[in-house]
Amino acid sequence: MDTFGLMSVEEIKQLSFVFIVAKGRSGTTLMQTILDANENVILPLESRLIVHLKQKYFSITEWTPALLDAFTEDLYKDKKFSRYWSVDAVKLRKSIDALPIKELTFPVLCKLIYLNYPSPFPKGRITLLGDKNPIYSVFIKELSEVFPDAKFIHLVRDYRDNIVSNKKVFQRQSVAQLAQGWKVYNIFIEQAKKGNEKNFYTLKYEDLASDPSRVVPEICDFLQIRFNPAMFDFHTKMQQVTGEKYVEEIKNVHPNLVKPINTKQINKWKETLSESDIELADFIAGDYAKQYGYVPETHRSALSFRIRALLALARIYLDFFIIRSYYKMPFGIRDAVGRFNKKLYEKFKISNYYNHADFRFKE
């Protein structure tokens, strides 16, 4: 039976929502998988569907069949959603049509999308929906507009291990940009917490990895869901997943999801980063990281460090400006920009934010 088969619009409205935010490679996928393993939770792989659709559909108060057709069509333009979520469009539309059209709202439609996600874990009565997405760290205001009572899990990881992981998985080699990115992401999240602290739970990746039997039940209490020991057995189920795209993602980007929670990824920086890389990372992020309990190993200052830090900061804020501007564009302009930049990559191998999804997801 569908998890939402007997839900009314009012029951769907009552479903709680949680977002996992952090700088990428801070344990967000591990946290997402642990929560999705709870029978009362649906927390899919990341997609940007909420900010992707919000600009066009959030303010609509009277839905029509034609608007719902456009909504569904636009939904599948989100590359990660269409690639990883495996949500059947016909089934999704049937679940939408089963509800009174006059009672539909943008938040209700978003929740229906999540309820249609075919989680690999067995489900019972769903009480919590959620999403993990590092880039949502700069959209917390927008997410809170859609779901005013949403809760946020803020994951933090040692900035040096975060650098190591990004260099390894995404081949991003600029230590200055990675250190500045770690710092700025956390600054954005800390700013969003002000005045709304009760809806945020700050969690260090190292605590999750080293003491899950304490941390995970605490998170369940924060989210007001029942803790289930099966949440620690997620890796067993992930080993059984057979979907080709899903397996490819796990193998290439999240190989530890098929293993029990462990501490092997803690302090990798000590054996991986060069002395100069550590000095630069400490210079950029060390002082800020102290508030989370991370202690810089070096305190070297140099003019070259200041220049690299400033250039990296400018690049980070430019990226954020581009991303935020993109999701404010009408869909027609977005589609045109995407087509142009895809050709730019195909002909000249010039990559940017607007075409990265197209050349990563070649189909």
Q: Let me know whether 359 and 278 are in one domain.
A: no
* 157 domain residue, yes or no: yes
pLDDT reported for residue 348: 83
The verdict on residue 1 lying in a domain is: no
3 state SS of 299: coil
Q: Are residues 149 and 255 in the same domain?
A: yes
Residues 88 and 189 in one domain: yes
Examine residue 3 and state whether it is found in any structural domain, yes or no. Answer: no
Q: Is residue 307 part of a domain?
A: yes
Residue type, 350: I
Give the model's pLDDT for residue 361. 40
Which domain covers residue 237, as residue numbers? 9-328
Contacts of 248 (CB under 8 A, 6+ apart): none
The pLDDT value recorded for residue 178 is: 96
Amino acid identity for residue 20 in this structure: I
Please state the pTM of the whole predicted model.
Answer: 0.91
- In sign, the C-alpha dihedral spanning 66, 71, 73, 74 is positive
Q: 3: closest CA among 103, 87, 100?
A: 87
For residue 356, how many other CB atoms are within 10 A of its CB? 13
Q: Are 51 and 13 members of one domain?
A: yes
Mean pLDDT split into 10-residue runs, the chain, 363 residues: 68 97 93 95 93 96 96 91 90 94 97 94 95 94 97 98 89 88 97 96 97 97 96 76 53 60 93 96 98 97 97 94 91 86 80 54 41
Residue 335's Cα: distance from chain center in Å? Answer: 23
Do 111 and 176 lie in a common domain?
A: yes
Instruction: For residues 241 and 350, state if they share a domain.
Output: no
| DSSP letter for each residue of 175-227 | HHHHHHHHHHHHHHHHHHHTT-GGGEEEEEHHHHHH-HHHHHHHHHHHHT---
2 falls within a domain = no
Residue 213 lies in a domain: yes
Q: How many domains does the chain have?
A: 2
Amino acid in the structure at residue 351: S
Q: What is the reported pLDDT for 158?
A: 98
CB 177 within 8 A of CB 312: yes
Torsion of CA 42, 236, 200, 126, to 10 degrees: 20
pLDDT value at residue 363 = 39
> In this structure, is residue 315 part of a structural domain?
yes
Is 203 found in the same domain as 108? Answer: yes
Residues 6+ apart with CB under 8 A from 185: 22, 23, 134, 137, 138
Domain co-membership, 340 together with 273:
no
CA gap 340, 354 in Å, rounded: 9
